[in-house]
Chain A
Amino acid sequence: MKEIHYLRCRECGKKFANAPQSFCEECFAPLEVSYDYDALRRVANREALRDRAFNMWRYSEFLPLPDGFVPSAAIGGTPLVKSRKFAERLGIKNLYFKNDAVCFPTLSFKDRVVATALVAARRFGFDTIGCSSTGNLANAVAAQGTQQGFETCVFVPADLEPVKILNSAVYGARIIRINGNYDHVNRLCTQIADKFRWGLVNVNLRPYYAEGSKTHGFEIAEQLGWELPDNVVVPMAGGSLIGKIAKAFCELAHLGWVEPKQVRFFGAQATGCSPISDGVKRELSRVQPQKPNTIARSLAIGNPADGPFALRLIRESGGWAEDLSDPEIIDSIKLLAETEGIFGETAGGVTAGVAAKLVEQGRISRDESTVVCITGNGLKTTDAIAADFPVQDAIEPRLEAFESLLEQHLQRTAGAPAQETHV
Chain B
Amino acid sequence: MSITIEIPTAFRRFTEGAPKIDSGALTVAEALNDLTAKFPGLSRHVRDEQGQIRQFLNVYLNEEDIRFLNGESSPLKDGDRVLLVPSIAGG
Contact = CB atoms under 8 A, between A and B. Distances in A.
Tell whether A pairs with B.
Answer: yes
Interface of A: 11, 22-30, 132, 180, 182-187, 189-191, 194-195, 200, 202-204, 206, 237-240, 286, 288-289, 291, 301, 303-306, 308
Contacts of A182: 90
B67 A202 contact: no
A190 B85 CA distance: 8
A288 B67 contact: yes
Contacts, number: 87
Interface residues of B, number: 21
Nearest to A285: B55
Interface of B: 8-10, 45, 54-58, 60, 63, 65, 67-68, 85-91
Given A28-B54, A289-B67, A303-B65, A22 B91 contact: no
Given A28-B10, A187-B85, A306-B91, 16 more contacts: A11-B56, A23-B87, A28-B45, A28-B54, A28-B57, A185-B90, A186-B88, A189-B89, A202-B90, A203-B90, A206-B90, A237-B91, A289-B67, A289-B68, A301-B90, A305-B90
Given A191-B85, A202-B91, A25 B54 contact: no
Contacts of B55: 29, 286, 308
A238 B91 contact: yes
B91 A304 contact: yes
Nearest to A25: B10
A189 B89 CA distance: 9
A217 B45 CA distance: 35
A79 B9 CA distance: 44
A27 B58 contact: no
A305 B89 contact: yes
B88 A303 contact: yes
Contact of B91 (A28, A204, A239): A239
B89 A30 contact: yes
A185 B91 CA distance: 11
Nearest to A29: B56
Contacts of A240: 91
Contacts of B86: 23, 28
Contacts of B89: 22-23, 30, 186, 189-190, 200, 202-204, 206, 305
Contacts of B88: 183, 186-187, 190, 303, 305
A15 to B, nearest CB: 17
B39 to A, nearest CB: 15
B87 A22 contact: yes
B54 to A, nearest CB: 6
B91 A289 contact: no
A240 B89 CA distance: 10
Given A187-B60, A194-B8, A289-B68, A30 B87 contact: yes
Contacts of A23: 10, 56, 86-87, 89
B5 to A, nearest CB: 15
Q: Closest 4 A-B residue pairs measured CB to CB?
A: A238-B91, A23-B87, A186-B90, A28-B86
